[in-house]
Amino acid sequence: MKLIVGLGNPGKEYEGTRHNVGFFCVDKLKEALAGAKIIFAKPDKFMNNSGPAVAKILRYHKIKPSDLLVIHDDKDIPLGEYKIQTGRGSAGHKGAQSIIDALDTKDFTRLRVGIAPTDKEIKNTSDFVLKKFSKKEKEIINQVSNEIVERIKSQI
């Protein structure tokens, strides 16, 4: 059994924001992988406090951290790109750090979805990640999320 977790913030006001790209990807994966022996989760805790909820799901279903995939936004990766890494630190991502702290291990896989603009510098990270995607950015996120779905499908 595997667990795929998308990180984001709960509530209507956060739908469509950069910080909720993990939720968006999990929704697409859940639809594409219906019937697979995978648990999909979107913690109902705010991103930076998601670790205890993820740890609870792992314990309840007796899933090892090595069978965990966490999908989240990354302001250091250009919009339209993503990286998959296992056993790495949080790189400053507070949601990822919350999970590392709660599990007391880095032995899980992270899929980091790029949200960084290619044309400007981020001045205020909090404001930036909580803004909604523009129409053009939504198209790019939709395209990269389709690529992510195909990549994950090919690895299952």
Q: Give me the average pLDDT of each 10-residue run along the chain (156 residues).
A: 95 94 97 94 96 98 98 95 95 96 98 87 81 93 97 90
Distance, in Å, from the CA atom of 144 to the CA atom of 112, rounded to the nearest integer, reads: 11
pLDDT at 118: 73
Taking the domain 2-154, which CATH number applies? Answer: 3.40.50.1470
- Which residue numbers are catalytic? 19
pLDDT at 121: 72
pLDDT at 126: 82
Distance, in Å, from the CA atom of 128 to the CA atom of 43, rounded to the nearest integer, reads: 22
Give, in order, the Cα–Cα distances in Å from 67 to each of 39, 70, 72, 94: 11, 10, 17, 21
pLDDT at 6: 98
